[in-house]
Structure 1
Amino acid sequence: MEESQNLDKKSLRFLKGKNTDWDEISKDCVAFANAQGGFIYIGIENEDALPPINQKITDKNIPETIQKNIVQRTVNVAVAITINVADNKAEFIKIQVFRNAQTIASTTDGKYYIRVSDECRPIPPDEMARLAADKNAFVWEEQTTKKVNKLKVDEKKKVTFLTDIRKSQRVSSFIKEMSDDEILEFYFLKKGDLLTNLGILWIGERNDRASLLYPPAIQIIRYNENDEKVWKLLLDDYFLNPKELLDKVLNDVPDWQESMEVSEGMFRKNIPFFPIEVVRELVVNALVHRTYTTRGDIFINIFPDKLEIHSPGRLPYGVTPKNILSQSIRRNEQLSKIFYDLGLMEKEGSGYDLVYAKLLGSGKPLPIVTETDERVTVIIKKQFISKEVVRLMDKASSEFNLKQKEIISFGLLAQQQSYSATEVSKILNQSEEQGLRNWLGRLVELELILKSGKGKGTQYSVNPEFIRKIDFKGKTNLKNIEDYRLEELIYKDISAYPNSGFSDIHKRIGEEINQYKVKRMLKNMVERDVLGITGETRGMKYHLKQNLQENE
């Protein structure tokens, strides 16, 4: 049980009577209220899953005290506070913070915060309008402002939905045994005698769907080498619900069938230019996570060298192109649940994992995600890095049955041959060593990758033995240079350019070599009296002290 988007933990020592930092916990409550809601456990240490054994909450009035202080210091925040007993019989305090779906929460002194990943971050003034727009998007699904009677449905769509729900392996028997009306209520397709916006979208009649503020429409356009339109499929007549739109995109576009043939001995394998799983996940994301209060069609543009999927609106608050792999926030919560329960999308937070794994697993570059004030664009390149990388990934995945995160990590290394721990962490948006280890999984243990160096100088590279097994012909670079060869490079460089600084040396011998590895070798050569130094810190210069041969 780690701290996350919906969970924060504090030691019982946080409660210090009159000296308790009530402003701190109030800030946390505001952050949770402005995000998805969440829980604060007081009495469980950050590194632990359970409270200390025999821990007791002696002051049984403490929930009332906490609630009083939070209420006094916050606006638009609702909490429920209880004393709970953990599995080890120890006690802790649970604060449940409810999501504020329609208004923005703040502290009484006018400060705004939001929970992003495992942090509570301040909301800048220029982002307030964006957060307010997101709030409207969150409640859109359940509104009944159109006043459409529950009987005014497309019977075929209604029957299909109920049949699909009752057949789904992801839906519990408890839900399957409900009556038709109860299932529609459970999935928020109707409230009382009225269809919700979500109900109109999924099972409503065409005219009512068209009357929604901004119902989904998709335009699929293929361009030639001169950026001229040569084919298009318009799905903008509002006859289709989101599932039917998705089916049309996946089944009626011939481009998804194009592939490259890769030979493996006597066998041949076709690798699609645009994996259908990737197309499906990106279109689902465009349908599920778009703001239905923002005007704009979904565009799928197919070029000779790439695929672009444009979705109107911005990413949910807290999600950025840089953290999209590790951060997930549901904007249309009920629509997301329907897509998941019908098996149309991956579970919460794993959609882009699948996209990365499928692309890297088939030897393709990472997707490019960009965001403007009006739309989010995802670009998938058509080309492969090389046939050798495709074969390498196929061999590793099939022989070792790699997990999704392991495929992503190994795919990154396969394309570049080597990365520093810092570079891998940056791509995967992992700030802690444990997080990176979770992504690398068993790769080191299976000896698919090798680890060298320590701390910031840690380097990960594909095991050359595994590369040799499949006669892999990757590109050559200096990232994996052995220490003795690096020392020789440095020695020859300083011989030619005495009294050089670190940056000049690094640039001349090869900037692809990890800078910490170069610094470590320079320090080692100084300690062994191979090199001498003048100056300090940034002004430090290196010169030869003796011949390398004399030092051996």
Structure 2
Amino acid sequence: MIENSLYDKKSLLTITSKKIDWKEIVKDVVGFSNAEGGIIEFGIEDDAEIPVSSQQIPDSLKTMLVNNINGKTNGVQISAEKKTYENGGETILLHIRRSNVMATTSDGRVYMRNGDNCEPITGEDLHRLAEDKGCYNWELQVSNYNISDCDTSRLKYILDAIRSSDRVSEFVKEKTDTELLRYFALLAEDNDMMTYLGVTFIGTQSQRQRISNAPTLQCFKYDEYGEKINKWTWDDYLSAPDEIMEQVWQTIPDWKESQEISDGLFRKNVMAYDKNVVRELICNAEVHRSYAITGDIFINIHPDYIEIVNPGRLPYGVTPGNILHKSKKRNPNYANLMRALKYVEIEGSGYDKMYEILLQQGKNVPKVIEGDDFVSVKVCRRIQNSKVLELMDFVEKHYQLRQKQKICLGLIAMHESITARELEKLLELNNADSLRPWLQPLVKQGLVISRNVRSRGLEYRVNSILLQNSEFRGTTSLKRIEDYRLKELIIEDLKLYKEAKLADIRERIGPEISEKRFKTQILSLEEEGIIGRRGSNRWTNYYLISTPKSK
């Protein structure tokens, strides 16, 4: 098994040698505990998949391992079991539960599992981790309300919805009502009292009002001058989170507005805001916000965009730059329940889905901003490029693409032409290898073609044959112009205007071409002795020295 964020393997010598490195072992245990939990398997060498057949584990070794770790850590919950492979070899599986408090070593050090490594946590990150652990405590905090005092209609609805969900296994569905409530953390483990999460979903209005930080939401509509012109609120604790989501969609008329675009001989209406995108945004705000601090979720509706703002920062390890790929459960039980009720996508795929929907509609992708005590997500209302919408509709009908490839194709179409490095940045990827599954299937199917551009590397654009087949009617653009043709246009411009600044040359020839490309070609013409310059910095003017000889 490959080492990852939930699994690590170590040689048996790690815990049987004369000098055991307990600091390293404890570091890994604390790291797993502060993350999602996991397993450390002792008895597998780094280059092996199974233990040697002669390897036998005495029971005393398990006891020694657990006792030493417990004595050298705080806030850690572990158990050990023996595993026997088909060849007869044995290993120790050390199970580490996710801690609902901050786990530390006995000398106060804190670590976090990130990928297949455990990293130290210090400074501001300690505060963020403590905040996340506070959220986990909020979910499981036991209230003063017995299950017999709950809202019976809500109880029946939640149980029926779980048992009818195709996201819940048959084994779970067969549990009794009490077992099912405990499985989804709505009921305390050792008594019949509802947890805070339980009160939030199946409690009464007065019960929700009396627990700390139950979800509330406010929506404001602004005009083009930034003045508030309407307001809707869900801050009276009358509704559970799933009810709030439905009421937001049904109550606010702005969601139902649409934009009309041409579709051949006909007209087509595109909703201002897709229902799945709105629900995903609100649910993300509810599920991933910090319940360790007080504050409402806000929806701000502006003429050109909506903004969802929730209190607290992003979970530890998640940033606006990696949110498309990084998945972190701040409120895991809340997330599991909303997933079972079909209000959120499978873990880690929510932003992927929003990217896919928005790009298929010719709109920009969501913009995530993290402040000192808030997170906001902005989604544009208007279609940025209706021709991209037509292209994506054609591709949807005639090609079998995965979600990744649809997102990648949409980004390329929106930008007309784009380099691999620019794609990596837009897709929040670390290197070219990570980009391959997004891009290469499009190249293999001939949907995207590439060309090598001097100083820019490989540049990608949608295949012109696909554009013709989809009757893509985009405007003529010089963005994909060849370098030698761009040089010719610069020379012709200087013939006509004698002397000019770079910005003026670019404005006359084609502002859609990047300034960097203009600078590169002008520098090349200078090196060839065709043009010269006067002045420096922003006062630099270029002039023609000689006309290149025709070949």
- TM-score category (smaller protein): 0.7 to 0.9
1:10–1:40 Cα contact (<8 Å) kept:
yes
Whole-angstrom distance in 1 between the partners of 2:287 and 2:281: 10
2:54–2:88 Cα contact (<8 Å) kept:
no
Between 1:449-458 and 1:156-165, the stretch displaced more is 449-458
Identify the residue that residue 304 of structure 2 maps to in structure 1: 305
Q: Secondary structure at the match of 1:269?
A: strand
Structure 2 residue 175 is matched with structure 1 residue 185: no
2:37–2:96 Cα contact (<8 Å) kept:
yes
Shift of 1:317: 1.0
Shift of 1:418: 2.2
Identify the residue that residue 380 of structure 1 maps to in structure 2: 379
Identify the residue that residue 501 of structure 1 maps to in structure 2: none
Identify the residue that residue 225 of structure 2 maps to in structure 1: 226
Between 1:483-492 and 1:467-476, the stretch displaced more is 483-492
Shift of 1:64: 6.8
Shift of 1:168: 1.5
Identify the residue that residue 439 of structure 2 maps to in structure 1: 440
Q: Secondary structure at the match of 2:307?
A: strand
Identify the residue that residue 391 of structure 1 maps to in structure 2: 390
Whole-angstrom distance in 1 between the partners of 2:459 and 2:11: 36
Matches within 5 A, 1:309-328: 309-328=308-327
Identify the residue that residue 543 of structure 2 maps to in structure 1: none
Shift of 1:437: 1.8
Whole-angstrom distance in 1 between the partners of 2:428 and 2:244: 33
2:261–2:269 Cα contact (<8 Å) kept:
yes
Whole-angstrom distance in 2 between the partners of 1:18 and 1:425: 48
The answer for unaligned runs of 5 or more in structure 1 is: 494-505, 532-546
Whole-angstrom distance in 2 between the partners of 1:298 and 1:356: 22
Q: CA RMSD in A?
A: 4.3
Structure 2 residue 200 is matched with structure 1 residue 201: yes
| Cα deviation code 1:245-265 (max 9, x no counterpart) | 111011111111111222222
Identify the residue that residue 170 of structure 1 maps to in structure 2: 167
Q: Secondary structure at the match of 1:458?
A: strand
Matches within 5 A, 1:109-258: 110-144=108-142, 146-191=143-188, 192-258=191-257
Whole-angstrom distance in 1 between the partners of 2:86 and 2:261: 54
Give the total of aligned pairs: 523
Whole-angstrom distance in 2 between the partners of 1:293 and 1:281: 22
| Cα deviation code 1:173-219 (max 9, x no counterpart) | 23323332222222221122211111111111111110111111111
Amino acid at match of 1:321: P
Matches within 5 A, 1:11-90: 17=17, 23-40=23-40, 51-52=48-49, 55-56=52-53, 58=55, 60=57, 74-81=73-80, 84=83
Identify the residue that residue 428 of structure 2 maps to in structure 1: 429
Identify the residue that residue 535 of structure 2 maps to in structure 1: none
2:369–2:376 Cα contact (<8 Å) kept:
yes
Between 1:151-160 and 1:473-482, the stretch displaced more is 473-482
1:459–1:276: structure 2 CA closer, same or farther, 3 Å change rule? same
| Cα deviation code 1:522-543 (max 9, x no counterpart) | 99x9xxx999xxxxxxxxxxxx
Between 1:458-467 and 1:331-340, the stretch displaced more is 458-467
Whole-angstrom distance in 2 between the partners of 1:511 and 1:436: 25
1:324–1:352 Cα contact (<8 Å) kept:
yes
Whole-angstrom distance in 2 between the partners of 1:514 and 1:70: 59
1:26–1:73 Cα contact (<8 Å) kept:
yes
Amino acid at match of 1:457: G
1:265–1:204: structure 2 CA closer, same or farther, 3 Å change rule? same
Whole-angstrom distance in 2 between the partners of 1:337 and 1:511: 46
TM-score, reference length from structure 2:
0.81
1:54–1:35: structure 2 CA closer, same or farther, 3 Å change rule? closer
1:363–1:331: structure 2 CA closer, same or farther, 3 Å change rule? same
Matches within 5 A, 1:264-413: 264-413=263-412
| Cα deviation code 1:78-130 (max 9, x no counterpart) | 4445564678998766443322211332474x442212345433323122122
Q: Secondary structure at the match of 2:444?
A: coil
Amino acid at match of 2:110: Y
Q: Secondary structure at the match of 2:232?
A: strand
2:363–2:383 Cα contact (<8 Å) kept:
yes
2:134–2:291 Cα contact (<8 Å) kept:
no
Amino acid at match of 2:402: K
Amino acid at match of 1:390: L
Identify the residue that residue 463 of structure 1 maps to in structure 2: 463
The answer for unaligned runs of 5 or more in structure 2 is: 494-505, 530-546
1:509–1:345: structure 2 CA closer, same or farther, 3 Å change rule? closer
1:97–1:250: structure 2 CA closer, same or farther, 3 Å change rule? same
TM-score, reference length from structure 1:
0.81
Whole-angstrom distance in 1 between the partners of 2:208 and 2:153: 15
1:323–1:186: structure 2 CA closer, same or farther, 3 Å change rule? same
